[in-house]
């Protein structure tokens, strides 16, 4: 029997009674999906999941986004192509060196974000599995953006209605002081437009759609847009909207990128191993195109 235990007053639940190491019966998946729509972030605890099972389970939620290679030039994949390597380990099992490109790139995960908002069609949900965890640090925090939207003052809601933001991976990396991109990487990921508010399809509730990748508001002076985005980010990540997950080996967390943000917390990554593997499910359509042109400021 599938059990759902709430871990936070606003969102986040632990799912019990499911064995992710074997195919999930359709009736159980329907219950998991209903919990996903309502709680947005789901925790599964058990034995570490195999790469094949993680991919198979993730595909219940939609097609997977293949991992991009722009941040690991010259590095061999440790994991199969459908899985993003969020570890600090190379393909020979060694810790990444301090100047490793993937290590530097992944430090931007410590900024509040939602996955792949810098892609034209972004990510619907992500699934992150824990295979090795450090003795301290390395938690992941989540923020409920539906609650954040709901608690905005009414005049703020009116002001941001219909606004479109430009998102770019270089905006989040810039904030980390990381500029190690070659021309090919830049051409692969040009800036994209995303709505600032959207209706979360699973729950029918309105939500903010924000990330460290959000650069500015289309049609506004850049600084004014940055100011608004910073203010909304501050609002959305107040402690009452967030949950901190402390990982155990065998955990898998599924989150809805359309109505939550998340960030990694630091740990001593030059000393301790953290083996985390992410599958990323694609959304259906760009958020601006989904509105069919009914937005206030996009060009
Ligand atoms: C991710 C991510 C956070 C973490 O994989 O998308 O942001 O704690 N990970 O590793
Ligand atoms: Mn992420």
Q: Which atom of ligand 1 is nearest to the CA of 126?
A: 6
Q: Are 194 and 165 in contact (CB under 8 A)?
A: yes
Please tell me the predicted confidence (pLDDT) of residue 189: 86
Element (H, E) at 187: helix 183-188
**Percent of the chain whose predicted confidence (pLDDT) is above 70:** 95
Q: How many CA atoms lie within 13 A of 141 on its CB side?
A: 19
In a domain, residue 228? The reply is yes
Number of domains in the chain: 1
**Which of 172, 174, 189 has its CA nearest to residue 70?**
189
In a domain, residue 299? The reply is no
Please tell me the predicted confidence (pLDDT) of residue 177: 82
Q: Which atom of ligand 1 is nearest to the CA of 280?
A: 6
The radius of gyration of the chain's CA atoms, rounded to the nearest angstrom, is: 19
Q: At residue 297, does pLDDT exceed 80? A: no
Is the CB of residue 276 below 6 angstroms from any atom belonging to ligand 1?
A: yes
In a domain, residue 24? The reply is yes
In a domain, residue 116? The reply is yes
36 DSSP β-pair partners: none
Q: Please report, for residues 28, 73, 154, 293, the alpha-carbon distance to residue 225 in angstroms, rounded to integers and kept in the order given.
A: 44, 33, 19, 20
pLDDT tens for each residue of 83-122: 999 999 999 999 999 999 899 888 999 999 999 999 999 9
In a domain, residue 110? The reply is yes
For residues 159 and 281, what is the distance between their CA atoms, to the nearest angstrom? 31
Per residue in 21-34, is it b (16+ CB within 10 Å) or e — as a string?
A: eeebeeebbebbee
Q: Are 256 and 149 in contact (CB under 8 A)?
A: no
In a domain, residue 298? The reply is no
For residues 163 and 158, what is the distance between their CA atoms, to the nearest angstrom? 10
Q: How confident is the model at residue 299 (pLDDT cuts 50, 70, 90)?
A: very low
Write down the residue that tokens 């409920």 correspond to: 144
Please tell me the predicted confidence (pLDDT) of residue 73: 61
Please tell me the predicted confidence (pLDDT) of residue 71: 59
Average pLDDT over residues 160-175: 94
181 versus 274: the higher-pLDDT residue is: 274
User: Which of 65, 96, 128 is the best mutation target for the ligand 1 pocket, counting ligand atoms within 8 Å of the beta carbon and taking the most?
Assistant: 128
- 205 token code pair: 């509730």
**Which of 143, 44, 48, 142 has its CA nearest to residue 87?**
48
Q: How far is the CA of 298 from the centre of ligand 1 (A)?
A: 30
The 3-class SS string of 31-74 reads HHHHHHHHHCEEEECCCCCCHHHHHHHHHHHCCECCCCCCCCCC
In a domain, residue 297? The reply is no
Q: How far is the CA of 260 from the centre of ligand 2 (A)?
A: 11
Please tell me the predicted confidence (pLDDT) of residue 291: 87
Average pLDDT over residues 205-228: 98
Is the CB of residue 86 below 6 angstroms from any atom belonging to ligand 1?
A: yes
Q: How confident is the model at residue 176 (pLDDT cuts 50, 70, 90)?
A: confident
Please tell me the predicted confidence (pLDDT) of residue 180: 67
Q: At 210, which CATH number?
A: 3.60.130.10
- 90 token code pair: 């190379």
In a domain, residue 234? The reply is yes
Q: How far is the CA of 236 from the centre of ligand 1 (A)?
A: 18
Q: At residue 296, does pLDDT exceed 60? A: no
pLDDT averaged over every residue in the chain = 94
Q: Are 277 and 129 in contact (CB under 8 A)?
A: yes
Ligand number nearest CA of 253 is 1
* Full residue range of the structural domain in which residue 240 is found: 3-291
Q: At residue 293, does pLDDT exceed 90? A: no
pLDDT tens for each residue of 36-89: 999 999 999 999 999 999 999 999 999 999 887 555 566 789 999 999 999 999
Please tell me the predicted confidence (pLDDT) of residue 295: 61
| Residue nearest atom 4 in ligand 1 by C-alpha distance | 264
């Amino acid at each position: 029997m599938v059990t759902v235990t709430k871990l936070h007053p606003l969102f986040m639940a632990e799912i019990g009674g499911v064995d992710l190491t074997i195919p999930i019966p359709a009736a159980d998946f329907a219950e998991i999906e209903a919990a996903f729509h309502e709680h947005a972030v789901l925790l599964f605890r058990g034995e570490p999941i195999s790469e094949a099972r993680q991919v198979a389970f993730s595909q219940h939620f939609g097609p997977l986004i293949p991992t991009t290679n722009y941040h690991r030039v010259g590095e061999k994949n440790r994991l199969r192509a459908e899985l993003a390597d969020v570890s600090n380990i190379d393909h020979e099992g060694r810790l990444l060196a301090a100047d490793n490109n993937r290590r530097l790139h992944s430090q931007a995960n410590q900024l509040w974000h939602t996955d792949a908002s810098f892609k034209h069609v972004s990510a619907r949900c992500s699934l992150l599995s824990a295979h090795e965890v450090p003795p301290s640090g390395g938690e992941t925090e989540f923020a409920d953006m539906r609650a954040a939207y709901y608690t905005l003052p009414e005049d703020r809601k009116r002001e941001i209605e219909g606004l479109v933001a430009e998102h770019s991976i270089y905006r989040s990396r810039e904030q980390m002081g990381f500029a190690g991109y070659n021309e090919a990487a830049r051409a692969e990921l040009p800036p994209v437009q995303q709505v600032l508010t959207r209706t979360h399809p699973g729950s029918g509730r309105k939500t903010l759609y924000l990330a460290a990748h959000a650069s500015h508001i289309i049609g506004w002076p850049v600084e004014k847009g940055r100011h608004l985005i910073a203010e909304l980010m501050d609002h959305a990540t107040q402690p009452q909207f967030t949950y901190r997950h402390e990982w155990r080996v065998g955990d898998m967390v599924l989150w809805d990128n359309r109505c939550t943000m998340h960030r990694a917390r630091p740990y001593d990554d030059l000393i301790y191993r953290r083996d985390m593997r992410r599958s990323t499910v694609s959304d259906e359509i760009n958020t601006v195109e989904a509105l069919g042109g009914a937005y206030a400021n996009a060009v």
